[in-house]
């Protein structure tokens, strides 16, 4: 199991289109220097979209096996892997 840490995060256009009003890329790095980007996308209308919340979502996935590349957060704050 890889121990991932968040190294950088930034806002991007939602890649899935108009049903989503915010998206962030969270870059995770391991101790060996490998990196993986995770897109965290928020369904519209999103009341909780922020880079901090995107990082919180990424933290939920970093401890178990393979990291997802894309996570969608719906209006009820439930997460699903896209």
The pLDDT tens digits for 12-67 are 999 998 899 999 999 999 888 889 999 999 999 887 889 999 999 999 988 767 88
pTM over 0.85: yes
User: 78 near 43, Cβ under 8 Å?
Assistant: no
Domain containing 15 equals 5-81
Number of domain units in the chain: 1
Confidence of residue 80 (pLDDT cuts 50, 70, 90): very high
For residue 64, the model assigns a pLDDT of: 66
User: Whole-angstrom Cα distance, residue 36 to residue 4?
Assistant: 9
User: 27 near 35, Cβ under 8 Å?
Assistant: yes
User: Whole-angstrom Cα distance, residue 35 to residue 48?
Assistant: 26
- Distances, alpha carbon 42 to alpha carbons 1, 7, 10, 48, 65, in Å: 28, 21, 14, 8, 24
Confidence of residue 1 (pLDDT cuts 50, 70, 90): low
């Amino acid at each position: 199991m890889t121990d991932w840490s968040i190294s950088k995060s930034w806002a991007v256009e939602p890649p899935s289109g108009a049903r989503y009003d915010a998206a962030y890329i969270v870059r995770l790095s391991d101790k060996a220097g490998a990196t993986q980007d995770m897109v965290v996308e928020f369904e519209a209308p999103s009341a909780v979209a922020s880079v901090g919340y995107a990082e919180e979502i990424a933290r939920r996935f970093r401890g178990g096996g393979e990291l997802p590349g894309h996570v969608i957060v719906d209006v009820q704050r439930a997460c699903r892997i896209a």
